[in-house]
Amino acid sequence: MTHKGGPIRGKMLALLIIALVVGGGIFLVVRDKEGPVLTLIPDSPYVSLRPLVLELKDEQSGLRSLEISAIQKEKEITLLARDYPERPRHGSETFSLKQAPLAEGPFILRILAKDGSFLGGKGTLREYSLNFDRTPPVISVLSRTHNVRQGGSAVVVFSLSEQAAVAGVRVGERKFPAFKQPSGNYFCFFGFPFEIKKDTFQPLVFAEDLAGNQVEGGFYFNIRVEKQRQDRINISDQFLNAKMPQFKNDFPDAKNPLEVFLKVNQVLRVKNRQMLFDYGAKSVSEPLWQGAFLRQPGATMATFGDLRSYYYQGRKIDSQTHLGVDIASVAQSPIKAANSGRVIFAGFFGIYGSCVIVDHGLGLQTLYGHLTRIDVSEGQEVKKNVLLGTSGATGMAGGDHLHFGIILSGLPVDPIEWWDPNWVKNNIEDKIGVNNPPERKK
């Protein structure tokens, strides 16, 4: 009896093992219900000739195969086919429509990815309705005679043949955003930065459509080069002891007031200029100002673009370009808005001390530095000549004065042009028609 039951028990055991293995297999198949997870980059309905990236992921059974094709007018074109014998869990494939004989317009991008699970794998099928666009926008420059002084401002008006994702003017590495108007035209203020040599100054209009097709185009311009005024500033211990404590917390490692001064003048100055770009990016797309800008009454203590050399105990310790106009009259004089706009910043702002920045739209902003008192708050609409605060000597100021700045999308420019009604009319208003603005949306 006992030796008869042996083989039966053995068979039962074998069956049990097979059942476990098959059951386990089924369990695996059942458990991995999902095919690979697909991410198409960029995630946009518009596609150009630029490469697309597909990221694949299957944490459980790995990747088995991938097929990418384009379908247009019932014709299917294979763009990419891959097998993954190693069953990797992650994959990334770059492909483009370059080789595909696709016509511009709608098509279906079909992606089938299979994982490494049983019975040929679980598949993920995705079909994207996309638009193929390989033609960059056509730029038409509408404004004429762009006169640009070094340190000065200009505006260019242009139209585009199709909707743009981004557009503006590029000067070297610097990009000035254009603002689309209700008419469909774009206005773009740009400047001629002091750090760019006249031979290399070449402003270009750029545009990129929704599919990512890019274009750049030149336009006619005349330049005038300015000689930088030299200015010598002696830094006294009295100045350092009076002014540096307000910055001590920014640079706790600085050993003495002179070190704090150098950090403020070199590190904080750069940081503050960088922040001007962030404020510039918040500018509204309609002009809020009208006519020339008001100049604060008082004597000019420093002009725009002055090359300042700083001396301490007869030794040159630093040099910087002054990017505003310093105006002084009596202490704590009323400081007024140079034009209508909206307060975009009111508070302590590094080297500028207590400071107000007013946004006038289209990337154009004014800055009022070294104030004693601020009488406006962020978000407040202000009319031309409204009181913003009183002058002072907060921040990096030796005595009571106003540091007045005009900024184009983060770039400080010479205010002197914006104070001149003729310059504003001939170089700005006649080009953008600000005296005859299109109906504003309420």
Q: What residues line the site for Zn ion (CB under 5 A)?
A: 324, 326, 403
Q: What is the DSSP letter of 305?
A: T
Distance, in Å, from the CA atom of 135 to the CA atom of 212, rounded to the nearest integer, reads: 10
Which CB sits closer to Zn ion, 171 or 406? 406
On the question of a cis peptide bond just before residue 257, with omega within 30 degrees of 0, the verdict is no
Residue of 414, 326, 317 lying closest to 369 (CA atoms): 326
Which CB sits closer to Zn ion, 187 or 239? 239
Residue nearest to Zn ion (CB): 403
Min dist. Cβ of residue 363 to Zn ion (A): 22
Distance, in Å, from the CA atom of 109 to the CA atom of 72, rounded to the nearest integer, reads: 9
Min dist. Cβ of residue 415 to Zn ion (A): 11
Min dist. Cβ of residue 285 to Zn ion (A): 30
Q: What is the DSSP letter of 100?
A: S
Which CB sits closer to Zn ion, 95 or 368? 368
Q: Classify burial at 61, counting beta carbons within 10 Å of its beta carbon; exposed 0-12, middle 13-18, buried 19 or more.
A: buried
Please spell the DSSP secondary structure of 348-397, one letter per residue. E-GGG-EEEEEE-STTEEEEEEEESEE---TT-EE-TT-EEEE-B-TTT-
Which CB sits closer to Zn ion, 162 or 231? 231
Which CB sits closer to Zn ion, 243 or 403? 403
Which CB sits closer to Zn ion, 326 or 414? 326
Which CB sits closer to Zn ion, 305 or 410? 305
Min dist. Cβ of residue 300 to Zn ion (A): 11
Min dist. Cβ of residue 324 to Zn ion (A): 5
Min dist. Cβ of residue 322 to Zn ion (A): 6
Min dist. Cβ of residue 144 to Zn ion (A): 35
Min dist. Cβ of residue 326 to Zn ion (A): 4
Answer left, alpha or beta for residue 120, where phi above 0 means left and psi between -120 and 50 means alpha: left
Q: Classify burial at 67, counting beta carbons within 10 Å of its beta carbon; exposed 0-12, middle 13-18, buried 19 or more.
A: middle
Count Cα atoms within 13 angstroms, Cβ side, for 420: 11
Min dist. Cβ of residue 325 to Zn ion (A): 7
Find the length of the chain: 442
Is the CB of residue 276 less than 8 Å from the CB of residue 412?
A: yes
Farthest-apart Cα atoms in the chain, separation: 122
Which CB sits closer to Zn ion, 326 or 417? 326
Name the residue with tokens 């508070």. Answer: 347
Which CB sits closer to Zn ion, 159 or 303? 303
Alpha-helical runs (H) found in 73-127:
none
403 Cβ neighbours under 8 A, 6+ residues apart: 324, 325, 326, 352, 367, 368, 369, 370, 397
